């Protein structure tokens, strides 16, 4: 799997939310200033060549749909971030977010519950 550019990821977020869309519909959901129609069309075709998007033809029009699930890309993306910024260490990643995000007690309790649940599942 390849990493997405910001523009590609923006288009994928729309496709993941909508499940399928024509280029015009993708463009309508993009924030201002909106890119040109041809720009969005090019991005979608790049995503298709990367294996992220498929299409259904309706005459000369194409309706695009994600082939790669959002969760699948999220796992890939987080693994890339862990490797690149946290020496592949999950504890370094969690420690960073705890320190930098000023988590409240509720958030910390939730994290502890997830850790405890994982520990129980491995016993």
pLDDT tens per residue, range 102-111: 778 888 888 8
* CATH code of the domain in which 46 resides: 1.10.10.10
pLDDT value at residue 93:
85
Residues 60 and 93 in one domain: no
Residues 12 and 58 in one domain: yes
pLDDT value at residue 121:
79
Residues 11 and 48 in one domain: yes
pLDDT value at residue 71:
97
Q: State the pLDDT confidence band at 123, using cuts at 50, 70 and 90.
A: low
Residues 10 and 61 in one domain: yes
Q: Which domain holds residue 112?
A: 89-123
pTM: 0.81
Residue 123 in any domain: the answer is: yes
Mean pLDDT in residue range 86-109: 84
Residue 82 in any domain: the answer is: no
19 near 66, Cβ under 8 Å? Answer: yes
Question: How far is it, in rounded angstroms, from Cα 39 to Cα 25?
Answer: 14
What percentage of residues in the chain have a pLDDT greater than 90? 66
Does residue 74 surpass a pLDDT of 80?
A: yes
Q: How many domains does the chain have?
A: 2
């Amino acid at each position: 799997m390849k990493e997405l550019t910001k523009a590609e990821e923006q288009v994928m977020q729309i496709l993941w939310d909508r499940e399928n869309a024509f280029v015009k519909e993708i463009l309508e959901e993009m924030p201002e200033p909106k890119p040109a129609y041809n720009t969005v069309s090019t991005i979608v075709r790049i995503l298709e060549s990367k294996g992220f998007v498929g299409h259904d033809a309706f005459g000369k029009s194409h309706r695009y749909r994600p082939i790669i699930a959002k969760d699948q890309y999220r796992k890939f993306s987080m693994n890339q971030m862990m490797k690149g910024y946290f020496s592949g260490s999950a504890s370094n990643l969690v420690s960073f977010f705890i320190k930098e995000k000023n988590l409240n007690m509720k958030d910390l309790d939730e994290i502890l519950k997830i850790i405890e649940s994982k520990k129980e599942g491995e016993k």
